[in-house]
Amino acid sequence: MTTSSDLAKTSVPVARGENPIRSLQSDVNRLFNDFFGELSFPAFDRLTDRFFQPMPALDISSTDKAYTVTAEVPGMDSKDIQLSAADGYITLKGEKSQETKTEDKGYVRRERSYGSFQRIIELPKDAEIDAVKAEMRNGILTLTVPRNVEVEKTRKIDIHEVA
């Protein structure tokens, strides 16, 4: 049998990007299984998928001429997303609401899910924030941020010796 002092010595690392609610459920299930035998809560596992959606995944890349930010926003329309740029940051906000209704053989099933997110992306100093362009295609939002090549240029400064 596991004692409380054994539990205090055990540390369970959480992997980066793992859903903390699912991790907590797994830890609690393991504790209950150690004490009572095999026991779990599969219904809660399905709820975590629906209600604890992660923020959109982002990919950021750069070339000599521009930065590209790609965000995955499946099932969303451009009208559901707000983009703003100020003080060297781009803010990506969105809200998704989905409703499913099934009517069949004397019953009605209706499911609704809602969720919102906000991502703030810091841009490098050479980003032309006034020239950002955004495109949306098949649930992928792509932002193109031109680079100001003048900012990157350096010039050599001569040192004059003074007698």
C-alpha Rg value of the chain to the nearest Å: 25
Give, as one character, the DSSP assignment of residue 124. Answer: P
Report pLDDT for 17: 54
Q: Percent of the chain beyond pLDDT 90?
A: 28
Domain 58-152 CATH class label: mainly beta
Indicate if the pLDDT at residue 49 is higher than 50.
no
Indicate if the pLDDT at residue 4 is higher than 80.
no
Indicate if the pLDDT at residue 43 is higher than 80.
no
pLDDT band (50, 70, 90) for residue 26: confident
Model confidence pLDDT, tens digit, residues 98-137: 778 888 888 888 777 777 888 999 999 899 988 999 999 9
The DSSP secondary structure of 140-153, one letter per residue, reads: EEEEEEEB-HHHH-
Report pLDDT for 117: 87
pTM: 0.55
Indicate if the pLDDT at residue 161 is higher than 60.
yes
Indicate if the pLDDT at residue 157 is higher than 70.
yes
Amino acid sitting at position 32? F
Amino acid sitting at position 129? I
CA angle 91, 15, 60 (to 5 degrees): 30
For residue 122, the cross-strand partners are 89
For residue 118, the cross-strand partners are 93
Report pLDDT for 152: 56
Q: Where are the domains of the chain?
A: 15-51, 58-152
Indicate if the pLDDT at residue 53 is higher than 60.
no
